[in-house]
Amino acid sequence: MFEFDWNTILESRTLLASGMWLTLKITLVAICCGLLWGTVLAMFRISKNRFLTRFAEIYVAVFRSIPLVMLLLWFFLIVPQFLKALFDLSPSVDIRTVSAMVAFSLLEAAFFCEIMRAGIQSLPRGQFLAARALGMNPYQSMRFIILPQAWKAMLPLILTQCIVIFQDTSLVYVIALGDFFRRATSIGERDGNIVQMLLFAGLVYWIICSLLSLIVKLVQSRTSHA
């Protein structure tokens, strides 16, 4: 009969905690940078400038069609020297971590772009006309009128995408990063209890994602009644 050995987990808690910290770092960087770049891309998508609109369309189409595993490998194998030069990274910086953060940020920007574009375009045309009637320029109308209203519609989808990002970080194992999932599997392989550690890792992901999903539902209920 299968018995769950908690002693192995307790003895390896430092390694598991460091792996979870790396997972959270990649997730937070991907969310922050992805939101910033995604907002810019969304502005490009709804811009009257054909060049900007076309650029954003191609960017979103390309990044949404590339598997994340392939993107991680490309950034790790093809562009590490470029990243070092671009960000002036010191030799002590783990290029694998930077590669993963950049890859996730660029990819998630494409998804955030579409979420924001849909949220902005869901607003009545009258909101745009009212902002123009008040003498606001496009930047002012977007900042003070459009985005605050669209945010209510976008927030549940954005939070849901954040959960997806957290789950997808487990794919950094392809570039040998010691995230939570890789730490768990490495401990299992070392101690000969790989099944137990995979179950434990799955349980941790399930608990965290369930709590985050509950937060999304609470936010969604509040925004729908606001």
Residue 163: DSSP 8-state:
H
- Tell me what the mean pLDDT of segment 14-18 comes to: 94
Q: Does residue 164 sit within a domain?
A: yes
Q: Is residue 101 part of a domain?
A: yes
Domains in the chain: how many in total?
1
Domain, as residue range, for 41:
6-225
The pTM for the full model equals: 0.86
Nearest 5°: the CA angle 60, 167, 178 is 110
Residue 5: what pLDDT? Answer: 75
Whether 10 is in a domain gets the answer yes
Q: How far apart are CA 79 and CA 83, in angstroms?
A: 6
Answer yes or no: is pLDDT of 129 > 90.
no
Rounded CA gap, 164 and 188, in Å?
A: 25
Q: What is the mean pLDDT of residues 50-64?
A: 94
Structure token digits, residue 4? 């769950």
pLDDT higher than 60, residue 2:
no
- How many angstroms separate the CA atoms of 201 and 185, rounded? 8
Indicate the average pLDDT of the chain: 85
Is residue 33 a part of any domain in this protein? Answer: yes
Tell me, what CATH number does 148's domain have? 1.10.3720.10
What would the pLDDT profile of 145-159 be if each residue is shown by its tens digit? 777 777 777 888 899
Distances (CA, A) of 110 to 29, 124, 125, 181: 15, 24, 25, 25
The verdict on residue 95 lying in a domain is yes
Query: Is 35 part of any domain?
Result: yes
Q: Does residue 1 lie in a domain region? A: no
Residue 18: CB atoms within 10 Å: 14
Is 219 inside a domain boundary?
yes
